Structure 1
Amino acid sequence: MAFWRRDGAPLLEADEQLTVVRPYRQSVELHEVHSCRLPVDRALEVLTRARRLPGADPATAFWGAAVVPALLLLARGRLLPGVSPAGFAWRIGPVRQRGLGASAGGWRP
């Protein structure tokens, strides 16, 4: 997983350039940004901590909050393989709203 700053400033651990697509007027543009790539286990650690960090980037805080219920679903065996019109897919179920909402700070699927 790659982390980068929206303002283009380098991260403390930035180790490579990453090309990202950003909105520009009525279209999009490619931009080179400093990035830090982390393996999934380390990225999950960063995201789960960032969700409660004052001053965290809103996108990072959002994904940090989203990853907690996802990990709970995975741990409870609720992430299931399935098939969609586009091919293979993952689905969740059955889900108890009460338990999931409490862990996500009010976030609802």
Structure 2
Amino acid sequence: KNWIVLSKHKLVRPSLCTVQLNILRCFIFPIPYGIFLAVAQLFLLKPNKYGLGTPAPIRSLSAAFDPSLKLVWVDGTGGNTSPSPSDVMALLSQSLNPAQRASIVRISN
């Protein structure tokens, strides 16, 4: 196997073109490539100047849900999940008033 590799590369008297190509490949090309890798993040990444920001309160569902609109949901799981979508909707509707609960509609598949 080594003889095959050595037979394809001239060891005794390499031509000038081979020497120049090896100098370019091994010494010249890696320098600009290394410089590019060092500064590429400056060109490719957008700076994040916004920081964490200020926290905002999250409104509860009972405060945000307008009973004049309908909340439509569907159970596409067949009841095989835990918790089931029916359990999740029952938990969500506990804090709603009767008018809001009346506007929640379950549809079939």
Assess same fold via TM > 0.5.
no
Q: TM class by shorter-chain length?
A: under 0.3
Q: Could you state the TM-score of these two structures normalised by the residue count of structure 1?
A: 0.17
Q: Could you state the TM-score of these two structures normalised by the residue count of structure 2?
A: 0.17
Instruction: Give the greater-gyration-radius structure (CA).
Output: 2
Counting strand residues as a fraction of each chain, which structure ranks higher? 1
